[in-house]
A and B are shown apart, each in its own frame.
Chain A
Amino acid sequence: MNFDKELDARGLNCPLPILKSKKALTEMASGQVLRVLSTDPGSVKDFGSFAKQTGNALLASEEKDKIFEFYLKRK
């Protein structure tokens, strides 16, 4: 999937992947896509609720070798 910006949140525990994503998204333009890499197993649920709360669409959520990838579209 194409993305405009990437956030490496590997090695970080909750709540940091969410807080950093929020910061990264505020620096982006509407419609741009942020790719987040995370190793925190709790982040799967977190990104679902975060997308719902903030209105930034979660386009995809994938896992490969315990590294999670999230694609968030800035509203």
Chain B
Amino acid sequence: MSTTIGYQADTGAEHAAPAWLAGFKADYETIFVEGWSPYLGSILVVLVIIGLMVSGLFWGVFGGLRLWGDWFNNAIGLGPLLGLPQTLEGPLLERISLMDITLVSGAFCAALLSRQFRISRPPRLEYVWAALGGCFMGLGATLAGGCTTGGFFTPALHSSPTAWAMWAGLLVGAAIGLKLLLWTLEHIEWGMQAPPTLTPPPALLSIYPWLGLGVVVAILVWAASWYYSGNERLAVRGIVILSGFAIGFIMQRSRLCFARAFREPFMTGEGEMTKAVMLGLAIGIPLAALLFKSKLIDPYIAIPPRFWMGSLLGGAVFGIGMVFAGGCASGSLWRMAEGHVKLWVAVFFFAWSGSIASALFRHSGLTLSEMTLDEIEATRLGYQAYFPAMLGGWGWTFLASAAILLLWYALVRYNESTEKFTVL
């Protein structure tokens, strides 16, 4: 495969560059232009999450999107009707929202450095699927108390079975979503014509890496100024800025995608992304356990009270949505930063429907939280389940997590050879 034209167009000038530059250019290509392995990406993301946990924080995505939706609902006057607070925390101060914003910045920066940023417009029908998929994801994440990040990946690291209830739902949802999408391809003819591709002028392309460097510097200055501000609230958010940025950067480079991890075994049968997610969990679960044992962080802060009904149902609804939208929450955010207009629409509807669904569910009492006698949160959709508390210790906890990961691995591996589960 040839390298990008943008790069080749510059080579006239670059050939004249001194010979000593060649090695550095080659390394730049390897690190910032060529894709990383999803295994590397998954391990790096887990390490960033462990870093967050050491600081008493956790990785989430949906809470931030819902806040954006709350802001939007207040702006269009729906707030009082939904019973939303009239004064909301600012999107730059609320931790998960800040993490989302910096995740987009990190992915945007990586897309600039690799010269992959393109405003990419889909055919018209895709906007319909983006809106529909976004709404399903908002509803699913509300039911499950989080998206593939806050409902699955993070609780899995926190040794909560709620993650695995959502996992089962996501598998079912991804398979149903794929079947439905295939059906639409057979039966819907409208809006399939792709609009002309927008190509950035070569002059702009050649300064992309410098713009990317500018984003890095801006993020570093921002994070440092908050970290050293002397204000404890801001100092914590300095860590959030860097972590969100790192996660977005890593995800774009390795094209890490939970939607793909759940969907691909049903589609092409190929399971690399799925195995990468498993590897990340296999490394992360014992590392996180060490942090819980040493009381550096309370495991319950990132376990949604949804085991098992909410997680399972939410997973299924979310799974359908992410197939239609073309990405889960984190995956939509980094693709949005690559310039895919479809994902901008998907994220907007995800945030908006997430805000509406959360308000309505709270109103109906479905997700109203109560403390149980064991001091864990419970709603009508489930409770905060934690393996060590249920199974009586870490030995059985590790065994349970390992057994589920092995089962998943076996299913994916078996399917890679037999394609028993592919729906194509």
Given A8-B194, A53-B269; 16 other pairs, CB 8 A cutoff:
A10-B194, A11-B197, A12-B123, A13-B340, A15-B326, A19-B181, A19-B267, A23-B186, A46-B268, A52-B270, A53-B270, A53-B419, A53-B424, A64-B2, A65-B5, A67-B197
Identify which of A12, A62, A66 contacts B122 (C-beta below 8 A): A12
How far in angstroms is the closest Cβ of chain B from A19?
A: 6
Do residues B335 and A13 form an inter-chain contact, with CB atoms below 8 A? yes
Do residues B182 and A19 form an inter-chain contact, with CB atoms below 8 A? yes
Segment at the interface with A among B11-19, B113-121, B278-286: B113-121
| 20 A-B residue pairings within 8 Å (CB atoms) | A8-B194, A10-B120, A11-B195, A12-B126, A13-B326, A13-B327, A13-B343, A14-B326, A15-B178, A15-B267, A16-B126, A18-B267, A18-B268, A19-B267, A39-B120, A42-B257, A42-B260, A61-B1, A65-B4, A66-B199
- Residues of B whose CB lies within 8 Å of any CB of A are 1-2, 4-6, 35, 116, 118, 120-123, 126, 178, 181-182, 185-186, 194-195, 197, 199, 255, 257, 260, 263, 267-270, 272, 323, 326-327, 335, 338, 340, 342-343, 419, 422, 424
Question: What residues on B are CB-neighbors of A64 within 8 Å?
Answer: 2, 5
Within 8 A of B (CB), among A4-63: 8-16, 18-20, 22-23, 39, 41-42, 44-46, 49-50, 52-54, 61-63
Given that A39-B118, A49-B270, A53-B268 are known contacts, is A9 also in contact with B194, CB under 8 Å in the complex?
A: yes
Question: What residues on A are CB-neighbors of B267 within 8 Å?
Answer: 15, 18-19
Do residues B268 and A14 form an inter-chain contact, with CB atoms below 8 A? no
The 10 A-B pairs with the shortest beta carbon distances in the complex, nearest first, are: A49-B270, A13-B326, A65-B5, A49-B268, A11-B122, A10-B194, A11-B194, A63-B1, A53-B269, A53-B268
A52 CA to B271 CA, complexed, in Å: 13
Given that A41-B255, A65-B199, A66-B116 are known contacts, is A54 also in contact with B326, CB under 8 Å in the complex?
A: no
A45 CA to B38 CA, complexed, in Å: 12
How far in angstroms is the closest Cβ of chain A from B392?
A: 42
Question: What residues on B are CB-neighbors of A9 within 8 Å?
Answer: 194
Given that A11-B195, A49-B269 are known contacts, is A62 also in contact with B1, CB under 8 Å in the complex?
A: yes
Q: How many residues of A contact B (CB 8 A)?
A: 32
Question: What residues on A are CB-neighbors of B343 within 8 Å?
Answer: 13
Given that A53-B268, A64-B2 are known contacts, is A20 also in contact with B116, CB under 8 Å in the complex?
A: no
Question: What residues on B are CB-neighbors of A53 within 8 Å?
Answer: 268-270, 419, 422, 424
Q: Which residue of B lies closest to A47 (CB)?
A: B268
Do residues A66 and B118 form an inter-chain contact, with CB atoms below 8 A? yes
Q: Which of B5, B186, B419 has the most CB of A within 10 A?
A: B5
A22 CA to B186 CA, complexed, in Å: 11
Do residues A63 and B269 form an inter-chain contact, with CB atoms below 8 A? no
A12 CA to B126 CA, complexed, in Å: 8
Question: What residues on B are CB-neighbors of A52 within 8 Å?
Answer: 268, 270
Q: Which residue of B lies closest to A9 (CB)?
A: B194
A14 CA to B126 CA, complexed, in Å: 12
A46 CA to B270 CA, complexed, in Å: 9
How far in angstroms is the closest Cβ of chain A from B123?
A: 6
Q: Which residue of A lies closest to B123 (CB)?
A: A11
Do residues B120 and A11 form an inter-chain contact, with CB atoms below 8 A? yes
Question: What residues on B are CB-neighbors of A62 within 8 Å?
Answer: 1-2
Do residues B122 and A65 form an inter-chain contact, with CB atoms below 8 A? no
A50 CA to B264 CA, complexed, in Å: 10
Identify which of A13, A19, A44, A61 contacts B185 (C-beta below 8 A): A19
How far in angstroms is the closest Cβ of chain B from A66?
A: 6
Do residues A15 and B120 form an inter-chain contact, with CB atoms below 8 A? no
A34 CA to B45 CA, complexed, in Å: 38
Question: What residues on A are CB-neighbors of B340 within 8 Å?
Answer: 13
Do residues B197 and A50 form an inter-chain contact, with CB atoms below 8 A? no
Do residues A15 and B181 form an inter-chain contact, with CB atoms below 8 A? yes
A63 CA to B257 CA, complexed, in Å: 23
How far in angstroms is the closest Cβ of chain B from A44?
A: 7
Do residues B1 and A41 form an inter-chain contact, with CB atoms below 8 A? no
Question: What residues on B are CB-neighbors of A49 within 8 Å?
Answer: 268-270
Q: Which residue of A lies closest to B338 (CB)?
A: A41
Q: Which residue of B lies closest to A42 (CB)?
A: B255
Do residues A11 and B126 form an inter-chain contact, with CB atoms below 8 A? yes
Given that A23-B186, A50-B268, A66-B4 are known contacts, is A12 also in contact with B194, CB under 8 Å in the complex?
A: yes
Identify which of A18, A44, A54, A65 contacts B1 (C-beta below 8 A): A44
Question: What residues on B are CB-neighbors of A15 within 8 Å?
Answer: 178, 181, 263, 267, 323, 326
